[in-house]
Structure 1
Amino acid sequence: MSYRSNLLPALLAASALLLSPAGHAADNDSISVIDDTDREVRLDAPAERIVSLAPHITEVLFAIGAGDRVIGATDHSDYPEPAADIPRVGGYTSLDLERILAKEPDLVVAWDSGNSRSHIERLRELGLTVYVSEPRGFDGVASSMERMAELAGTAEQGRAEAERFLDEIEALRQKYADRDPVPLFYQVWDQPLMTVNNEHLIAEAIEVCGGENVFGHLDRLVPRMDREAVIHADPEVIIGGGMGEDNPAWVEAWREWDNMLAVRRDNLFFLPPSLLQRHTPRIAEGTAMMCEELQTARDRRPDSP
């Protein structure tokens, strides 16, 4: 993977159109980027009052050096620690539009698959500038960091953090490139039971570690299923998050099915959900933990040296 060749060409194209030969943006130094829904987002100057509409967006804004510009965030925006002090504007599925408007933001950063589409459109109708985020892969996470940093006026830090993130992922990819594949089931939620297909960001973490997603072929990004389907698939490993950063109850519940390969070999692994289920640079840390667990499963094979 090459960092410079994989970032979204749309961002580069937009920047090329806006920059003059002297290196300054046209139209009175306005800033323009393309968001993850292919819409142009333009600001006359770097955003100074930002509202974040999802916990992972809040985290990314801090990572790119724009945390002090976030004046509103949704519930559960808990990382890094200063994020807990940001005034709330509702939950990501239950936004308080009046509260958002009262903040008078010059930029709202929304989550395409998490926020209500009608809420996003209503914010635009009310005259707010909205950037919509929906990264599907590691390159997308890095590119989104860069584009948000452009809008916030922290482009240099955004580029540095994006490159550091991709370097970490590439190191893991190289380390585990030749390891034997490990069939696994990744549990996103318990009731209803949910997993991810191969288009999801978590699936790229699985691939980097040499895992094989047993439900990767399904059409839906986050498929729902019954336990019988998982039992029939009989994965070698079950990995999941839970209702908190240190609550492995969902994964431990699989021990009831002691005929499953993952249970017989004690390959039931809990990973803190914020490290894999949020689209942030910390997914590199979660991926490293997943890779270590899959290697543990390889070492537990009867024919392992």
Structure 2
Amino acid sequence: MTRGSIVLGRRSLLLALAAMAPTLAVGTAGAEADEPDRIASLGGSVTEIIFALGAGDRVVARDTTSSFPPEVEDLPDVGYVRALSPEGVLSVSPGLILAEEGAGPPETINVLKNANLPYFVIPDAYDRAGVVAKITAVGEAIGELAKAQALARDIDDRLQAAQARAAARGADQRKRVLFILSTQNDRILASGMGTAAAGIIALAGGDNAVTAFDGYKPLTDEAVIAAAPDVILMMDRGGDHGAAAAELVAMPAVSLTPAGKTGAVVRMDGLYLLGFGPRTADAVDELSSALYGG
């Protein structure tokens, strides 16, 4: 079989799945579900919110990024949230699909949106208001709006307090923080603006060291030196995405930055740090303490 025939076969399968599934309106915040069982949860923070609302027993499948609470890892894994297959998601016979904004690829999402079951897109924003909106949207989608509103109020209060503590810690001198997503092949892939990393750095009272672009992009050695981070922030994971601290600060460009000279590297669990869910207030406190002490 040729490569072209493989691609064509997959496309035909996607079209066939779409044709077999009668179209229903796609759910949005404001259209509350009738407490359906068998939830497929696609997105780590979405899954975490469902469990925080006491509805974890209704989740029948999760994506790879859903790793908290620990018991979710016993559930079927339907793939990485941005590289899903419709066959994998639909194979668990969900009664409701919740997907964080940005789930993909688009052809998979088109099939799932046209399946004969409710599909809800949960908005994602990287600030305090975004966390509140996300919790509320999940609660609406699963028929637990009252619980979600109560949880959202509690998280909002805790986040406001955590922000105030972070601002006090960094009042004398705000730290410049460089978030590095990976160092694969000795190339630094770093966060610019408009990312979860930029959002959590701001909440923790720091300044993102890279502001010239949005999203994640590779940095030249000159750009790393010019960013002049006081602290390097990374997710706590291994492999090509997580160089050891000693290796990281020994990289030629990094070694010339304030963070490289002092060995200031902070690592935190990825979902905890970047999920913008129920634990974000704790993550803000932990990160600001790591940046400023106290």
TM-score scaled by length of structure 2: 0.77
Unaligned runs of 5+ in 2: 1-25
Structure 2 counterpart of 1:15? none
Indicate whether 1:69 and 2:58 are aligned.
yes
Partner of 1:140: 130
Shift of 1:250: 4.7
> How many residues are treated as equivalent by the alignment?
259
Among 207, 210, 225, which residue is 1:212 paired with?
Answer: 207
Deviation (angstroms), 1:182: 1.3
1:41 positional shift: 4.8
**Cα distance, 1:33 vs. partner?**
6.7
Higher RCO (CA-CA < 8 Å; seq separation 6+): 2
Q: Distance in 2 between matches of 1:267 and 1:168?
A: 27
**For residues 220 and 36 of structure 2, what CA distance do their matches in structure 1 show?**
45
1:251–1:160 Cα change, 3 Å: farther
Residue 166 of structure 1: aligned partner? 156
Partner of 1:284: 281
Q: How does 1:241-280 map to 2 (within 5 A)?
A: 241-243=235-237, 249-256=243-250, 257=252, 258-280=255-277
1:263-284 deviation per Cα after TM superposition (whole angstroms, max 9, x unaligned):
2223222222222122322222
CA RMSD, aligned part only? 2.7
Q: What percent of counterpart residues are identical? A: 24
Q: Is the 8 A contact 1:41 1:130 kept in 2?
A: no
Q: Any gaps of 5 or more consecutive residues in structure 1? A: 1-31, 300-305
How many Å separate the matches in 2 of 1:199 and 1:243?
Answer: 23
For 1:71, the aligned partner's letter is V
Matched, 1:231 2:225: yes
Q: Deviations over 1:71-118 (max 9, x none)?
A: 111235321122122122233234242343243323211133242122
2:194 to 193, 199, 211: 199
More displaced 10-residue stretch of structure 1: 247-256 or 199-208: 247-256
The structure with more helix, counted as a fraction of residues: 2
1:73–1:87 Cα contact (<8 Å) kept:
yes
For residues 81 and 236 of structure 1, what CA distance do their matches in structure 2 show?
Answer: 33
1:295 aligns with 2:271: no
- Contact 1:149 / 1:157 at 8 angstroms: preserved in 2? yes
CA displacement, residues 3-29 of structure 1 (integer Å, 9 cap, x when unaligned): xxxxxxxxxxxxxxxxxxxxxxxxxxx
Q: 1:215 to 1:46 in 2, by over 3 A?
A: same
Q: Report what 1:183 is aligned to.
A: 176
CA contact (8 A) 2:32 2:143 kept: no
Aligned residue type for 1:126: A
Q: Call closer, same or farther: CA 1:86–1:283 in 2, change over 3 Å.
A: same
Is the 1:242–1:250 contact (alpha carbons within 8 Å) kept by the matching residues of 2? no
Equivalent residues of 2:123, 2:133 under 8 A apart: no
The 3-state SS of whatever aligns with 1:105 is coil
Q: Residue 210 of structure 1 aligns to a residue in which SS? A: coil
Partner of 1:46: 35
Q: For residues 133 and 193 of structure 1, do their structure 2 counterparts lie closer, same or farther at Cα, with a shift above 3 Å needed? A: farther
The 1:62/1:227 distance shift into structure 2, 3 A limit, reads farther
- What is the SS of the residue equivalent to 1:93? coil
Distance in 2 (alpha carbons) for counterparts of 1:223 and 1:64:
36
Q: 1:217 to 1:232 in 2, by over 3 A?
A: closer
How far residue 171 of structure 1 moved from its aligned partner, in angstroms, is 0.8
Equivalent pair of 2:85/2:108 in contact (CA under 8 Å): no
Residue range with higher mean Cα deviation, 186-195 or 266-275:
186-195
Deviations 1:53-81 (A, max 9, x none): 22332222112222111111123532112
Mapped to 2, the partners of 1:33 and 1:97 lie a distance apart of 18
- The SS at the match of 2:189 is coil
Q: CA deviation at 1:166?
A: 1.6
Counterpart in 1 of 2:142? Answer: 152
| Structure 1 Cα separation of the partners of residues 27 and 110 of structure 2 | 18
3-state SS of paired residue (1:270): strand
Equivalent AA in structure 1 for residue 289 of structure 2: E
